[in-house]
Structure 1
Amino acid sequence: MDFSSGSKPLGGSNADVDRQLAAVKQQLDLEFMTRKLQKITDKCFQKCITKPGSSLDNSQQKCLAYCMDRYGDTEKLVTQTLVTRLQQEG
């Protein structure tokens, strides 16, 4: 049996496998972003909407915008810090 890099994968050609892997990665990325957005929405809604109604008043709108901005800023800072630490270790 030949297991060299030129052998054909079981699922098809290398290009087929690459396309399948790219599709799976895209699906996982979409799932991750969907869950992240839902988490942010839930947390900010709990914080900002104390009396749900048929519409948001001005203070609720500002609170939600500020909450989501801060959540994004915090995530960006944590990610940058982690990347820096990993680069220093590696």
Structure 2
Amino acid sequence: MEQVANFVQGCISLLARFMIVAIFLFSAFDSKIRHFSQTAEYMGSEGIPNPRLALFGAIGLILVGGLSVLAGAWTRIGAAFLFVFLAAAT
């Protein structure tokens, strides 16, 4: 019975990680990577210095952080990357 509980807990943990990371990765691919130039122009119009470099950094934080959380490898570091992205974006 304990093995079943551990298996279910692992599956739920994986599903939860996937659902959280899906938000970040979808955001990165849909608005930041696909529309890179428009996003960089918008960031520049908001007064962000060197918007292209800042956008590359944001995409890097999202991708590295999201994929590490999803994979379950270095999850605390990945979560910290996502936190830094969110703190800078707000």
Normalising by structure 1, we get a TM-score of: 0.42
Report the structure number with the largest CA radius of gyration. 1
Compare the two structures and name the one with the higher helix fraction: 2
Higher relative contact order (CA 8 A, sep 6+): 2
